[in-house]
Chain A
């Protein structure tokens, strides 16, 4: 059974960089059939896609976040990571990593991590 687990600091100061890692178990992130992504759920709002990548390193980002986002893959450790720079209170959210159902960023997400709450505050 595929499992995804997010990890990283729960509190980040304004203007700093948010860094999260998604560890994948029960399957290989290098599998050719899937994209992997990050999604967040701000309090009181709807889901927001942050970006997605393929194990080869190809990435697709939400245009509204693109200037601040970097998503990268570490195939040797079966992980992928999110970095979001210059954070503000508006970046406070539950952050989920997830797998796309097939190898395109257009595909829905079929496996999700439980999520990690990140609060931006001084």
Chain B
């Protein structure tokens, strides 16, 4: 199983807001930066958020990241059908000496 825990799926209506959680521990999320990736169907993962809350250039401000203790959250506002994708959190684990990811969350825009 993945070191970081994400809900398997979330859903919301167009124009609404959705949050995706990523739970870890003191050896990963709490003491290392978290990143978030979006994987649209049939495409490579795309970096959205790095260093917990920084948006990569070109990423709309509808996407935001936050972190508190051993958990991180990706929020997406103003949902669009084009946001339907798998979302992954990732970070470094200082105990495992390993890049670790969550199992992924499938976002459905109803």
Indicate if the CB atoms of B32 and A47 lie closer than 8 Å. no
Chain A binding surface, main DSSP class: loop
Residues of A18-64 at the interface with B, using a CB-CB cut-off of 8 Å, are 37, 39, 45-49, 52, 60, 62-64
Residues of B8-53 at the interface with A, using a CB-CB cut-off of 8 Å, are 32-33, 35, 37, 43-47, 50
Indicate if the CB atoms of B88 and A114 lie closer than 8 Å. no
CB contacts (< 8 Å) of B103 on chain A: these are: 45-46
A39 CB, min distance to chain B CBs, angstroms: 8
CB contacts (< 8 Å) of B102 on chain A: these are: 46
Residues of A95-122 at the interface with B, using a CB-CB cut-off of 8 Å, are 96, 101, 105-110, 112-115
Indicate if the CB atoms of A108 and B47 lie closer than 8 Å. yes
Range for the number of chain A residues in contact with chain B: 20 to 34
Within 8 Å by CB of B45, from A37, A47, A64, A107, lies A47
CA distance A47 to B90 in the complex (A): 9
- Known contacts A63-B96, A105-B99; is A110 also within 8 Å of B56 by CB? yes
**Chain B contacts to A: CB under 8 angstroms:** 2, 32-33, 35, 37, 43-47, 50, 56, 88, 90, 92, 96-104
